[in-house]
Amino acid sequence: MSAIQKIKGFADMFGEDSRAFTRMESVARDIFTRYGFGEVRIPVLERTELFAKGIGEDTDVVGKEMYTFTDRGDRSLTLRPEATAGVLRACIEAGAVEPGKPSRLFAFGPMFRYERPQKGRMRQFHQIDAELLGSPEPQADVEVILMLRDYLEELGIGDLSFELNSLGCRECRPHYRAALTAYFESLDEEKLCEDCRRRMKTNPLRVLDCKVPGCKAMVEKAPAIADHLCAGCRDHFSAVLSLVSRAGLAYTLNPRLVRGLDYYQRTTFEVTSGAIGAQTAVAGGGRYDGLVQQLGGPDAPGVGFACGMERLALLMEKQEAPRPDFFLAVTDTREKSGAVDAAILLGHKLRLRGLSGECDYEPGSMKSRLRRAGKLNVKKCYIIGPEEFDAGKVTVKDMEEGGQLSLDIAAFD
> By the criterion CB under 7 A, which residues form the site for RNA?
5-9, 59-61, 65, 82, 113, 115-122, 125, 127, 195, 199, 206, 209-212, 258-261, 270, 277-284, 306-308, 310-311, 331, 364-368, 370-375, 383, 385-388, 395, 397, 399-400, 402, 404
For the CB of residue 92, give the shortest distance to RNA in the complex, in Å: 21
Q: Is 27 helix (H, G, I), strand (E, B) or coil?
A: helix
For the CB of residue 273, give the shortest distance to RNA in the complex, in Å: 10
Give the HSE-up count for residue 46: Cα atoms under 13 Å, Cβ half-sphere.
Answer: 24
240 vs 370 by CB, closer to RNA: 370
195 vs 235 by CB, closer to RNA: 195
345 vs 366 by CB, closer to RNA: 366
172 vs 307 by CB, closer to RNA: 307
For the CB of residue 298, give the shortest distance to RNA in the complex, in Å: 24
211, with CB counted inside 10 A (0-12, 13-18, 19+), is: exposed
Q: In what order do the strands lie in the sheet with 326-330?
A: 357-359, 326-330, 380-384, 393-398, 404-408
Q: What is the 3-state secondary structure (H, E, C) of 221-241?
A: CCCCHHHHCCHHHHHHHHHHH
For the CB of residue 404, give the shortest distance to RNA in the complex, in Å: 6
Cα 75 versus chain centre, distance = 29
Residue 104's H or E segment, with its range, is strand 103-112
214 vs 298 by CB, closer to RNA: 214
For the CB of residue 73, give the shortest distance to RNA in the complex, in Å: 28
7 vs 250 by CB, closer to RNA: 7
221 vs 367 by CB, closer to RNA: 367
50-78 b/e (C-beta count within 10 Å ≥ 16 → b): bbbbbbbeebbbbeebbbeeeeeeeeebb
For the CB of residue 235, give the shortest distance to RNA in the complex, in Å: 26
For the CB of residue 114, give the shortest distance to RNA in the complex, in Å: 8
Closest CA to 103 of 167, 54, 37, 56: 37
321-331 b/e (C-beta count within 10 Å ≥ 16 → b): eeebbbbbbbb
For the CB of residue 231, give the shortest distance to RNA in the complex, in Å: 28
Closest CA to 31 of 305, 408, 393, 335: 305
Please state, in angstroms and rounded to a whole number, the distance separating the CA atoms of residues 103 and 154.
24
Cα–Cα distances (Å) from 112 to 62, 77, 185, 409, in that order, read 12, 13, 37, 53
190 vs 400 by CB, closer to RNA: 400
